[in-house]
Amino acid sequence: MGKYNLKKLLFRRQFILGPHFIEELAHWTRLKIGQKLYLSAHPELNVVHRASADGSLTLLGYILNPNQPEADDGTIIDQLLGKMHAAKDISDIIQSTETLGGRWILIAGLKDKWLLFSDPCGYRAAHYTAHPGENDFWCASQPGLFPFVMNLIEDPDAIDYLDTNKYEHWGNKEYIFPGDSSIYKEIKHLLPNHYLNLISGEVKRHWPNKPLEATDFNDCVEESSRFLINTMQAIAKRFRLSLALTAGRDSRLILASSKKIAEQIHYFTGIYWTCNKNSPDIVIPAKLLSQLNLKHQAIHCPKKMSPSFTKIYNANVTPAHEVYGTIAQGFYAKLPQDRVMLKGNAIPIVKGAFHSYRQNDRITPSVFAQIMKVSDSVFALNSTLEWLNGAQNSIYNIDIMDLFQWEIQEGNWQAMSQLEWDLVTKEIFVPYNNRYLITLMLGVEKTQRIEPEYRLHEALIRKMWPELLELPINPCKENRNKILSRGKAIIRSILQKSRLLR
């Protein structure tokens, strides 16, 4: 595989958990954590295990406490284990992680009960065997690890879904596996806001567990800014950082929350697909950082992956997004390898990205299939219907469009892309991946946080680093949205005057 170290990079920071260790992965970290729970973890995946007379708690990845920035993984796990023993039920441990950030999976065992759950957006991905027998229950980072322990045949319906040109998302082949589906019928994806019972194999939703509380706009700005600043201080104490900065508001907000540590961060922007050196995503970050006396790196990514990189990239995750492979190869070649990459994902959950797709109060699978550009896919419709039925049974006052953004866009599409990029990065960190922060922002009146003004975003940036608003945000997109917004207002006025719309 050319210059790429297969032993080091293949399945980088992935894991597999089941009734025995995997002979082919003997060089991985091995840990027996329960009667029939044997963990095999890639050597670069951080594992912290704590046990007591009654139970244990195991961390895969890293976990942060913005309210206690100095706390390391071990300290946080010790604190959680203490809370778990005091809880009425083992599932109550999930509530104890509400304010915690990072990218992690927790495996909790108390007496004869065992469960597994992930960070709020499921960025530390987990897949599991559906309808397992007594000795064939397995959980792993991604579907490509299950052939080590099971004979599997790719689902023809899933292959047909991937092969069709209809899945081109946002004009590119950024497909999303719908619902909890995967390339294999026997393997399911554990979505955010769900936990996995490691004894029965049953999956249960743990959030929403109550109505969402309303948040005053000004109170949200005060608390969110405090929380984001603490989050950045906590991650900076752990790792050296790189920020993927674009002309967009999500990465600009990360920069604003990083003001106190700005000089410690490496800033970069990838040039790939239709982007070029004159694109706003390149020009604006470079100009903005120059005004702040900070350096900016533009990384040119190849148009196509090299044959040697293609082999390892496609072998690392099943199936891999080839369009992300060209970016990954560019980053592996030119990004500092000792830094954790900061990304501005998760916050679209509170921006109402899909509210425009809502045509009425009746939401059907076809609405979400339209979002995924797969309206005529039976595979997508069936998988989405299953997710929708489960979501609507316990949604309280959460907008179903926001929950879709959370669990499918972030918990499936983004989680899998991060898994693919584990191959080429030290780690990935999303500051907004925090249940407390997300629900705090979701509690703000919708009109204050969605397009075209995105008032909450602007208020947060203005409070933390107002100079960052001196250059435009997404100038081409913002102008287009304002024109569309004005056009809609004009049409609405005409209809109202003609009494066709009341």
367 and 305 part of one domain = no
Rg (CA), the chain: 22
How distant is the alpha carbon of residue 161 from its chain centre?
A: 23
Residue 356: both structure tokens together: 């425009």
**Phi/psi at 501 (nearest 5 deg)?**
-135, 125
Query: What is residue 376's predicted lDDT score, i.e. its pLDDT?
Result: 79
Position 29 scores a pLDDT of 97
Strand order in the sheet with 139-140: 29-34, 37-41, 15-18, 139-140, 127-129, 187-189
Question: What CATH number does residue 191 fall under?
Answer: 3.60.20.10
Q: The pTM is what? A: 0.92
13, 99: one domain: yes
Structurally, the chain folds into a number of domains equal to: 3
- Amino acid 47 reads V
Query: Exposed, middle or buried: residue 85 (CB in 10 Å: 0-12, 13-18, 19+)?
Result: middle
User: Is residue 233 located within the same domain as residue 126?
Assistant: no
- One domain for residues 110 and 195: yes
Q: Is residue 264 part of a domain?
A: yes
Asked if the structure places residue 93 within a domain, the reply is: yes
19 and 91 part of one domain: yes
DSSP 127: E
Do 306 and 276 share a structural domain? yes
pLDDT in the model for residue 133: 62
Q: Is 343:245 a contact under the CB 8 Å cutoff?
A: no
Q: Are 82 and 10 part of one and the same domain?
A: yes
What CATH number does the domain containing 275 carry? 3.40.50.620
**Spans of the chain, pLDDT less than 50:** 1, 167-171, 478-502
- Within this chain, do residues 109 and 226 fall inside the same structural domain, yes or no? no
Which residues, in sequence order, are CB contacts of 239 under 8 Å at separation 6+? Answer: 339, 340, 426, 427, 429
Pair (237, 136) in one structural domain:
no
Judge whether 341 lies within some domain.
yes
Structural domain includes residue 428: yes
Q: Are residues 22 and 137 in the same domain?
A: yes
CA distance 22 to 83: 33
Please report whether residue 491 resides in a domain.
Answer: no
Q: State residue 484's pLDDT score.
A: 41
Residues facing residue 29 across a β-bridge: 41
The reported pLDDT for the residue numbered 3 is 79
Whether 181 is covered by a domain: the verdict is no
Q: In this structure, is residue 394 part of a structural domain?
A: yes
Q: Are residues 270 and 386 in the same domain?
A: no
Residues 100 and 22 in one domain: yes
**Calpha distance 80→75 (Å, rounded):** 9
Rounded to an integer, what distance in angstroms lies between the CA atom of residue 213 and that of residue 229?
Answer: 23
Domain of residue 385, residue span = 359-398
Spatial distance between the Cα atoms of 502 and 485, rounded to a whole number of angstroms: 19
As a whole number of angstroms, the distance between CA 482 and CA 101 comes to: 34
In a domain, 337, yes or no: yes
Alpha-carbon span 205 to 389, nearest angstrom: 12
Residue 238, H or E segment: helix 217-238
Instruction: State the CB neighbour count (10 A cutoff) for residue 210.
Output: 8
Helical packing angle, 156-163 and 378-392, nearest 10°: 110
The answer to whether 331 touches 296, Cβ cutoff 8 Å, is no
Take residue 82 and report the two structure tokens written for it: 């203490």
Q: What is the pLDDT of residue 135?
A: 66
